[in-house]
Structure 1
Amino acid sequence: MASLEDPLDIGGVTVPNRLYRAPLLECAGNGPDAVETLIDDLEPAAASGVGLICQGATIVRGDGGCAAPGMTRVHDPDFVDRLSRLTDRIHDHGSRIFIQLEHGGLRSMETWHAEYRAAHPDLEQLAVSEPPWQLRLLDRLGFLEYDPHVLTTAEVYDLAADFGRAAARAVDAGYDGIHLAGANMGIVQQFCSPFYNRRDDEFGGSPEARLEFLARVHDEIRERAGDVPLMTKVPAETPAPPSPLVRRKLSLEDGIEIVRRLEKIGYDAVVPVQTSVVWDMSIVRGAYPERAWDNEAFPEEYDAAFGGSARRRLVALGNRLESLHYDFEPAWNEDFCRYVREQVSIPVLAEGGIRERGQMDRLLGSSERSGVEGTDASDATPACDMVGMARPFYAEPRLGARLLESGSGDEKPRVLCESCNNCTVPQVTGAPGLCRTPDVVRRRGELEREGAYDRTES
Structure 2
Amino acid sequence: MPTLDDPVDVGSLTLPNRLYRAPLLECAGNGDGAVDTLIQDLEPGAATGAGLLCQGATIVRGEGGCAAPGMTRVHDPEFVAELERLTGRIHEHGSHIFCQLEHGGLRSMETWHAGYRAEHPALDQLAVSRPPWQLRLLDRLGFLDFSPHVLSTREVRELARDFAVAGARAIDAGYDGVHVAGANMGIVQQFLSPFYNRRDDEFADGVRFLELVHDEFRDRAGDAPLVTKVPVETPSPPVVRRRIDGDDAVVIAERLAEIGYDALAPVETSVVWDMSIVRGEYPARAWGESSLQPAYHEAFGGRFRTEAVKLGNRVESLFYGFEPAWNADVARRIRDAVDVPVMLEGGIRERGRIDRLLGESCDLVGMARPFYAEPRLPARLLGDVPDTTGALCENCNNCTVPQVTDEPGRCRTPSVVRERARRERDGEYETGR
Shorter-chain TM range is over 0.9
**CA distance, structure 2, for counterparts of residue 313 and residue 279 of structure 1:** 16
**Counterpart position of 2:296:** 302
TM-superposed deviation, 1:450: 1.0
**Counterpart position of 1:332:** 326
**Counterpart position of 1:42:** 42
- 1:400 is matched with which residue: 371, 378, 384? 378
Q: Tell me the alpha carbon deviations over residues 227-280 of structure 1, each in whole angstroms, 9 at most, x when there is no partner.
A: 1100000001010112xx111000000001100000110110000011111121
Asked whether the equivalents of residues 160 and 209 of structure 2 are also in contact (C-alpha less than 8 Å), the reply is yes
Q: TM-score, normalised by structure 2?
A: 0.99
- 1:441 is matched with which residue: 395, 406, 417? 417
**CA distance, structure 1, for counterparts of residue 303 and residue 69 of structure 2:** 19
**Counterpart position of 1:451:** 427
Instruction: Please tell me whether residue 412 in structure 1 is matched to residue 388 in structure 2.
Output: yes
Whichever residue aligns with residue 97 of structure 2, its letter is I
**CA distance, structure 1, for counterparts of residue 90 and residue 282 of structure 2:** 34
**CA distance, structure 1, for counterparts of residue 26 and residue 240 of structure 2:** 32
**Count of aligned positions:** 433
TM-superposed deviation, 1:410: 4.1
**Counterpart position of 2:68:** 68
Instruction: Please tell me whether residue 228 in structure 1 is matched to residue 228 in structure 2.
Output: no
**Counterpart position of 1:241:** 237
Whichever residue aligns with residue 383 of structure 1, its letter is S
**CA distance, structure 2, for counterparts of residue 137 and residue 81 of structure 1:** 43
**CA distance, structure 2, for counterparts of residue 224 and residue 108 of structure 1:** 28
**CA distance, structure 2, for counterparts of residue 427 and residue 331 of structure 1:** 24
Whichever residue aligns with residue 394 of structure 1, its letter is Y
Q: Tell me the alpha carbon deviations over residues 358-417 of structure 1, each in whole angstroms, 9 at most, x when there is no partner.
A: 11011114xxxxxxxxxxxxxxxx1100000000000000000000003xx445211100
**Counterpart position of 1:281:** 275
**Counterpart position of 1:160:** 160
**Counterpart position of 2:406:** 430
SS of the residue corresponding to residue 234 of structure 1 reads strand
- 2:367 is matched with which residue: 384, 389, 399? 389
Whichever residue aligns with residue 278 of structure 2, its letter is V
SS of the residue corresponding to residue 247 of structure 2 reads helix
Whichever residue aligns with residue 59 of structure 1, its letter is I
Instruction: Please tell me whether residue 213 in structure 1 is matched to residue 209 in structure 2.
Output: yes
Stretches of structure 1 lacking an aligned partner (at least 5 in a row): 366-381
TM-superposed deviation, 1:420: 0.2
**CA distance, structure 2, for counterparts of residue 256 and residue 433 of structure 1:** 32
Asked whether the equivalents of residues 352 and 386 of structure 2 are also in contact (C-alpha less than 8 Å), the reply is no
SS of the residue corresponding to residue 97 of structure 2 reads strand
Asked whether the equivalents of residues 107 and 185 of structure 2 are also in contact (C-alpha less than 8 Å), the reply is yes
**CA distance, structure 2, for counterparts of residue 314 and residue 426 of structure 1:** 16
Whichever residue aligns with residue 398 of structure 1, its letter is R
Map 1:103-252 to 2 at 5 A.
Answer: 103-204=103-204, 209-242=205-238, 245-252=239-246
Moved more, 265-274 or 411-420: 411-420
**CA distance, structure 2, for counterparts of residue 411 and residue 137 of structure 1:** 49
Stretches of structure 2 lacking an aligned partner (at least 5 in a row): none
TM-superposed deviation, 1:456: 2.2
**CA distance, structure 2, for counterparts of residue 313 and residue 359 of structure 1:** 38
SS of the residue corresponding to residue 342 of structure 1 reads helix
**Counterpart position of 1:10:** 10
Q: Tell me the alpha carbon deviations over residues 69-101 of structure 1, each in whole angstroms, 9 at most, x when there is no partner.
A: 000000000000000000000000000000000
Asked whether the equivalents of residues 161 and 216 of structure 2 are also in contact (C-alpha less than 8 Å), the reply is yes
Whichever residue aligns with residue 31 of structure 1, its letter is G
Map 1:53-64 to 2 at 5 A.
Answer: 53-64=53-64
TM-superposed deviation, 1:54: 0.2
**Counterpart position of 2:102:** 102
- 1:291 is matched with which residue: 276, 279, 285? 285
TM-superposed deviation, 1:225: 1.6
Asked whether the equivalents of residues 345 and 365 of structure 2 are also in contact (C-alpha less than 8 Å), the reply is yes
Whichever residue aligns with residue 223 of structure 1, its letter is D
Identity of aligned residues (%): 69
SS of the residue corresponding to residue 291 of structure 2 reads coil
**CA distance, structure 2, for counterparts of residue 422 and residue 282 of structure 1:** 15
**CA distance, structure 2, for counterparts of residue 436 and residue 274 of structure 1:** 26
SS of the residue corresponding to residue 155 of structure 2 reads helix
Q: Tell me the alpha carbon deviations over residues 162-195 of structure 1, each in whole angstroms, 9 at most, x when there is no partner.
A: 0111011101100000000000000000000000
TM-superposed deviation, 1:423: 0.3
Whichever residue aligns with residue 317 of structure 2, its letter is S
**Aligned pair in 2 of structure 1 residues 411, 183: CA closer, same or farther (>3 Å)?**
closer
**CA distance, structure 2, for counterparts of residue 246 and residue 327 of structure 1:** 21
**Counterpart position of 1:374:** none
SS of the residue corresponding to residue 167 of structure 2 reads helix
**Counterpart position of 1:33:** 33
**CA distance, structure 2, for counterparts of residue 146 and residue 241 of structure 1:** 20
SS of the residue corresponding to residue 100 of structure 2 reads strand
**CA distance, structure 2, for counterparts of residue 259 and residue 107 of structure 1:** 23
Whichever residue aligns with residue 66 of structure 1, its letter is C
**CA distance, structure 2, for counterparts of residue 441 and residue 328 of structure 1:** 20
TM-superposed deviation, 1:211: 1.1
TM-superposed deviation, 1:40: 0.3
SS of the residue corresponding to residue 272 of structure 2 reads coil
SS of the residue corresponding to residue 298 of structure 1 reads helix
**Aligned pair in 2 of structure 1 residues 410, 356: CA closer, same or farther (>3 Å)?**
closer
**Aligned pair in 2 of structure 1 residues 410, 229: CA closer, same or farther (>3 Å)?**
closer
Over the residues paired in the alignment, what is the CA RMSD in angstroms?
A: 0.7
